[in-house]
Structure 1
Amino acid sequence: MDVREIPHTEATEATEATEATEATQATGAAHAAAADATAAALARVRGAARAGHPRALAWRTERLTALRALLTERQDDLAAALHSDLRKPRSEVDNAEVGFTLREIDHALRHLPGWLAPEPVAAAALGRLPPGAAATTRYEPLGTVLVIGPWNFPVQLLLVPVVGALAAGNTVVVKPSELAPATSALFASLLPAYLGADTVAVVEGGPEETAALLAERFDHVFYTGNGTVGRAVMRAAAAHLTPVTLELGGKCPVFVDRDVDLAAVAARLARAKFANAGQTCVAPDHVLTDPGTGRRLTAELARAVEERFGPDPAASEHYGRIVNEHHFDRLVALLDSGRVVLGGRHDRADRYLAPTVLANVAPDAPAMREEVFGPILPVVHVAGVDEAIALVNGGDRPLALYAFTGDEAARRRLADETRSGAVNFGLPFAHLGVPELPFGGVGESGFGAYHGHHSFAAFSHRRARLDVPIGAA
């Protein structure tokens, strides 16, 4: 029967069924085309790794220099993408995103010849070998590596591992976060264009595309994100015995002692906590201090926030937004964890949540049961350093522990009696800017480290070599 002869309802259903089938076929075709493109991209970067070109110092230097050119020549485009994704202020783009990555590139270029030089083993270790024996170690490329980036710093946290991978002589597959779509799309066009399609392949998409990538065999997987996905990455990598680096998060505590300059502490806390609207894995998560110090600190924080963002942070060009409605709703629900003594204003349509401080927060309040990852700073009262140490040790090991105290004994105890990825006294997350320091977590906050030489080493195999003369006794 011709469709025109079918009664109206049946004709409509037949048309809808046809359209649904066509849509399904189109979606399937699109997925198949994307899968074919990904397979071709993987073949190119793997082929280049097998050909051995990345081993040469000149190749590594050229690629790092090309990445540097991308960042400097397209900085305005990156700033526009980051503003679209996160309303990220230009000052944060220039310093924490592009500037940070440029400093990592410059550090690698300056030190790469030394990193590549063979390292002789001490002569005393060769005592049992025949005369003339020589032993060295040398860092060699792993091959083709996968870097999965997060959404909160979609330039720095994607590209700084890439810097280490290229310095180590690897080809790279990168998976930007789908929650930062403008930045992801920009990288999909720029990275292969600047570095070569046989050096870096970019795979866009969501969980389905990530799962498909993880089913492939890589020589190393570097993931930055949350623990739930981190466990999935480990399970997938285990099928191929692929080594992994997991850069996760955690509740980074801040101990504030009675004897400190609270105006200076507040200024440093406000800068560290409310950068990127609090969406930073090493941001101070909560403050541990005594009640009197907590009250005085809150007053100083109010002054510090106004000095940094003005009387209305919503109108400040230096204050960002929450990445999406899901995270916005999660954060607003945490406001009931204590008494709002600073901020608290929010606007879902704008994804705006003001810099906020909560007082009288119990250790078991909702904001203390999960990483805040937003512009909410709970203040938890403790009697002193003993109780602070007990609270830190009662939770998962954090990515960083911060403390403001002039008491040397308290500093020593905080360093010796707790475990964390890093411990900083006097300035939160400043350790990120020291490339000689390893950056990474422990336990629930991840494992493996990078930045500077540690990035180079993470993507290298330290190969042993022994030369013994033939005919030696």
Structure 2
Amino acid sequence: MAENHDYEREINRLFELQKKNVVRLRTSSIDERIAKLKKLKEYIWENKEKIQEAVYNDLRKPPEEVLLTEIYPVVSEIRHVIKNLKKWTKPKKVRTPISLFGAKSYYRFEAKGVVLIISPWNYPFELSIGPLITAIAAGNAVVLKPSELSPHTSGYIKKLVADIFDESEVAVVEGDAVVAQKLLEMGFNHIFFTGSTKVAKAVLKKASETLSSVTLELGGKSPVIIDGKFDIEEAAKKITWGKYLNAGQTCIAPDYVFVKKELLGDFVSHLKHYIKKYYYSDGSGRCSNYCGIINERHFNRLKNVFEVTVKEGAKVCEGGLFVENECYISPTVLTDVGRDSYIMEEEIFGPILPVLTYEKIDDVIEYINSKPAPLVLYVFSRDRKFYRHVINNVISGDCLINDVIAHFANPRLPFGGHNASGIGKSHGYYGFREFSHLRSIMIQPKRTMLQLLYPPYGEFVKKLIEWSTKYF
């Protein structure tokens, strides 16, 4: 697409086409928007096998995992939005102060206009269609740019969109970073980006040039803290699933674990047990029901992180198998990892789990707060005093108690990071708000109390202003 600058002409054409359609979409009825979402839901369900095939071809993700992590969240969110959209879009009346007696005040949500969604490769279907749902619900025209690193899924999304929507409403633009750069120069009314913090900074810089509002769904090193009184096997069981889901290529995956020093051995034993139960059940010695690493570059990055950390003194308790020609990394557990080791510097984004120990919880809190705010904080504890202490003293985007990842599946919860791990929120009502302009409206009668305060400022007006300021 990038040859001979054809992509520039195509982007300009789509952008101008959608700009001309903004007023029609903004004033479209709620029933029209709901009809589009219903059509999208039906199309996804009727073609779920094709979606599973496309994602498998990009990531070797098991079809059951595609259904659970790519299709289910999307279908669930569509149902939630359809059920609640009329309530969300209803104008909300607010009280008017006595000083403005006679006026009527309210606000309503309106579409922002033409919006851009840039989605990543790790959950290539869900993280493309998820924000599209609330963008449509808010009445926007949408240009969606899926990741070039997951070409099979991106290609299928392009077909899906073309089959359901007119390109003046929703259009897909495929391409690499050059294409993304051109899109960011167009002056979209809103940009929704999911990806790395490094790229997000470039997106934010470009958005500042056109004063486009942004939502940034990023990542970070999401920590797990296990209370010494908690059932260590239950924690290991849940953490194993959440960490190695999608081979660790999940923005909300547990990045590292803090466990009480005296429970380290038991915790690692349970981790190893559940890794074997979940991923080595066929007895072949190689993981089944398990995703691949997206490409050679990410494979080599993870291999380097692993090797440097081991050289620093980390102990390999499980896994450590790297097969380059298959981009395969087995589920890996490391202990004896220093808090200042290489693997603790940046988000791992792969199937390597460092397990650290602690004695005092306040030392853990101090360590986590010394780093950029994580996307999620995970705490395993039945002790309300313990987990409230952690929640109240650790900054994070979201927090989940006694499980991992599960909060993402609740469309009624706002989802998003804090500063380095994200700006803005998504899902359900909060995604709808993100793609909406909140417009205040006041209607004044012919005669108002405010007119009594107009110049000239004689003694009466002066006292009236003082009286209003003091009491109203």
Q: Does 1:320 align with 2:291?
A: yes
- Counterparts of 1:190 and 1:435 in 2: how far apart (Å)? 23
Match among 275, 278, 284 for residue 305 of structure 1: 275
Take 1:93 and 1:359, find their aligned partners in 2: how far apart are those partners?
31
Name 1:253's counterpart in structure 2.
Answer: 223
> Whole-Å Cα distance in 2 between the matches of residues 268 and 450 of structure 1?
25
* Aligned counterpart in structure 2 of residue 441 of structure 1, from 411, 417, 432: 417
The residue type paired with residue 341 of structure 2 is: A
Q: Measure the CA separation in 1 of the matches of 2:446 and 2:94.
A: 20
- Tell me how far 1:364 sits from its aligned partner: 1.0
Does 1:460 find its partner at 2:436?
Answer: yes
Match of 1:128 among 76, 84, 99: 99
Residue type of the partner of 2:189? D
Q: 1:404 to 1:181 in 2, by over 3 A?
A: same
User: Which residue among 176, 190, 204 is the counterpart of 1:234?
Assistant: 204
Contact 2:243 2:253 in 1 (8 A): yes
Q: Is the 8 A contact 1:171 1:198 kept in 2?
A: yes
Contact residue 45 and residue 201 of structure 1 kept, 8 A: no
Give yes or no for contact 2:411–2:428 (8 Å, CA) kept in 1.
yes
Displacement of 1:313 in angstroms is 8.1
- Pair 1:240–1:379, CA change in 2 (3 A): same
> Following TM superposition, by how much is the alpha carbon of 1:66 offset from its aligned partner in structure 2, in angstroms?
2.2
Quote the Cα distance in structure 2 between the aligned partners of 1:456 and 1:313: 47
Which of 344, 360, 373 pairs up with 1:384?
A: 360
Report the 3-state secondary structure (helix = DSSP H, G, I; strand = E; otherwise coil) of the residue aligned with 2:210.
coil
The AA in structure 2 aligned to 1:32 is H
Deviates most, 104-113 or 386-395: 386-395
Residues 405, 313 of structure 1: alpha-carbon distance in 2 compared, 3 angstrom cutoff: farther
Contact 2:25-2:141 at 8 Å conserved across structures: no
- The alignment covers a number of residue pairs equal to 443
Candidates 167, 173, 178, aligned match of 1:197: 167
TM-score by length of 2: 0.91
| Alignment correspondent of 1:144 | 114
After superposition, the Cα gap between the structure-2 partners of 1:36 and 1:209, relative to the gap in structure 1 and judged at 3 Å, is same
Which residue of structure 2 lines up, in the alignment, with residue 341 of structure 1? 317
**1:124-145 per-position Cα deviation (integer Å, ceiling 9, x unaligned):** x3322233x2111100110010
The correspondence of residues 51-66 of structure 1 with structure 2, limited to 5 A, is 51-52=24-25, 55-66=28-39
Q: Which amino acid aligns with 1:326?
A: R
1:397 is aligned to: 373
- In structure 2, C-alpha distance between the alignment counterparts of 1:259 and 1:357, rounded to whole Å: 22
Asked whether the 8 Å contact 1:432–1:439 carries over to 2, the reply is yes
Distance 1:313 1:135, change over 3 A: farther
273, 279, 284: which is aligned to 2:249?
279
Match of 1:440, SS state, is coil
- How far apart, CA to CA, are the structure 2 residues paired with 1:65 and 1:127? 45
Q: Give the Cα separation in 2 of the matches to 1:442 and 1:313.
A: 43
> 1:54–1:158: structure 2 CA closer, same or farther, 3 Å change rule?
farther
Q: 1:126 to 1:59 in 2, by over 3 A?
A: same
How far off is 1:335 after superposition? 2.1
Match of 1:36 in 2: 9
Matched residues in 2 for 1:210 and 1:372: separation?
A: 25
Query: Aligned partners of 2:274 and 2:63: how far apart in 1?
Result: 20
Question: Which runs of no fewer than 5 residues in structure 2 stay unpaired?
Answer: 450-472
For 1:43, give the aligned amino acid: E
Equivalent position of 1:13 in the other structure: none
Query: What is aligned with 1:11?
Result: none
Paired residue type of 1:111: N
- TM-superposed deviation, 1:317: 4.2
**Equivalent position amino acid for 1:129 in 2:** L
Taking the aligned partners of 2:27 and 2:160, their CA distance within structure 1 comes to: 20
CA distance in 2, matches of 1:53, 1:438: 24
Q: What secondary structure is seen at the aligned counterpart in 2 of 1:140?
A: strand
Partner of 2:384: 408
User: Could you say which residue in structure 2 is the equivalent of 1:78?
Assistant: 51
Q: Is the CA contact 1:42–1:201 (under 8 Å) kept in the aligned structure 2? A: no
Paired amino acid for 2:347 = E
Native 8 Å contact 2:233 2:270 kept in 1? yes
- Aligned: 1:371 with 2:347: yes
Residues 148, 175 of structure 1: 8 Å contact kept: yes
**1:116 to 1:342, Cα distance in 2 relative to 1, 3 A:** same
User: Does structure 1 residue 90 correspond to structure 2 residue 43?
Assistant: no
Residue aligning to 1:431: 407
Is 1:213 aligned to residue 190 of structure 2? Answer: no
The one-letter code matched in structure 1 to 2:87 is G
Secondary structure at the counterpart of residue 428 of structure 1: coil
Contact between 2:391 and 2:399, CA under 8 Å: does it hold in 1? Answer: yes
Deviates more, 1:460-469 or 1:109-118: 460-469
- CA drift of 1:167 comes to 0.5
TM-score, normalised to structure 1's length? 0.90
Distance in 1, matches of 2:416 and 2:91, equals 26
Alpha-carbon RMSD across the aligned residues, in angstroms, is 1.6
CA contact (8 A) 1:335 1:358 kept: no
What displacement does 1:43 show? 2.3
**TM-superposed deviation, 1:44:** 2.3
Tell me which stretches of 4 or more aligned residues in structure 1 moved more than 6 Å. none
Residue-by-residue CA offset, 1:439-467 (whole Å, 9 max, x unaligned): 00012101100111000000001111111
Opposite residue 164 of structure 2, the aligned amino acid is Y
Residues 331-355 of structure 1: per-residue CA shift (max 9 Å, x gap): 1122232211011112111111111
